[in-house]
Amino acid sequence: MSKPPAKPAPDRKTPTGKVAATAAGPGAELPKTAAKAAAKAAATASAPVAVAAAPVSNRFTDRFAPARPNPRPEPLPMEALKPAAKVDPKVANAWKQKAGRDLTEAELLAMPEGEYMNDKQLDFFRVRLQQQKDDLLSNAGETTEHLREDTSIVPDPADRATIEEEHALELRTRDRERKLLKKIAQSLARLDSGEYGFCDETGEPIGLARLMARPTATLSLEAQQRRELKQKMFGD
């Protein structure tokens, strides 16, 4: 007589949560707040970063837009801040009625730039150079007379030494005046040739103010400074 088949043992019911927790291990039991924070951080990292778009230039608007004021304007030069010198109309027009030899320095400086080295200005400097030449020749004659008077024998050695020192000083002064006489003669020749008043190196006008201070000048102020600088650097 055959035995009836044995009944399978009934399965033990295990809570679903416990099975999942057991399969995942002890580390899977995380707090709900930590899980939410991790999910939020992942979403933030994967989200694209918004970049501000550059403004699109509008040619029409940029063309007719008002100019922006300069926040730091450049300072004006000192010449622009100085008030312009006012010239008396009588002084400015006096050269038209006077001869060149009768003009004053103020009237000469008031002449327009276009009249530089005209006949009246040339006449003015010719008279000044000739007067300077006459003064130097007169001083040279006085020096000769002094030397003749003091050539007498002086018994006192101290007085003799003093006279000799005065003679040496006067002779050095006359030597400088002799060189100046040579420059005056050259300036008078330049007046006749039409080269007077213009720089020998650059050909530019020397300027009335410089010629009044030094009528024998042959170089402009800039050219003279360059020459003096070269002499200091390289010697004579």
Other CB atoms closer than 10 Å to residue 185's CB: what's the count?
Answer: 13
How far is residue 101's CA from residue 176's CA, in Å, rounded to a whole number? 27
Domains (ranges, CATH) in the chain? 131-234 (1.20.120.910)
Global pTM? 0.56
Higher pLDDT, 136 or 60: 136
User: What number is the average pLDDT over the span 184-198?
Assistant: 95
* pLDDT the model gives residue 94: 75
- When computed from its CA atoms, the radius of gyration of the chain, rounded to whole angstroms, is 52
Q: Is 198 helix (H, G, I), strand (E, B) or coil?
A: strand
The 8-class DSSP code of residue 65 comes to S
The string of pLDDT tens digits covering residues 5-63 is 555 555 555 444 444 444 444 444 444 555 565 556 555 555 455 444 545 555 545 55
Asked if the model's pLDDT at residue 163 lies above 80, the reply is no
Across 86-90, 130-134, 176-180, 207-211, least confident range: 86-90
The H or E element containing residue 25 is none
